[in-house]
Amino acid sequence: MFLNFSIKPLRLSVYVGLLTSCLSVLALVFILIDKIWITPNLPLGIPTVLGSSGLVSGIQLMILGLVGEYLGRLYLDQTGAPQYIVRYVTRAGAKAEASIAAGER
């Protein structure tokens, strides 16, 4: 399973947090533009709270992914666990053909 010895899911959480933060900032800019030019008499209310909470959630997810990736790299470095396991080795040349004929790998 790719979750055991990999930091890719943690890196994915960093990217999702960054995407969420960027979309929230974009939404807050649109809310501000709407408030200033389109409907100035309308109270800000719920859209502002939702945009702000999305921004904070995205930043939290990004920081959590960064800390998790750091700890994952430290863990993999300290345990010496390989990032991948080689199942077969294929060599070119006559020596490899002789070892295959003999049944060695």
Judged on CB neighbours under 10 Å (0-12, 13-18, 19+), 68 is middle
User: At 34, is the pLDDT very low, low, confident or very high (cuts 50, 70, 90)?
Assistant: confident
What Rg value do the Cα atoms of the chain yield, rounded?
Answer: 25
- The per-residue pLDDT for range 41-84, each reduced to its tens digit, is 877 788 889 999 999 999 999 999 999 999 988 888 888 766 66
CB 14 within 8 A of CB 59: no
pLDDT of res. 96: 52
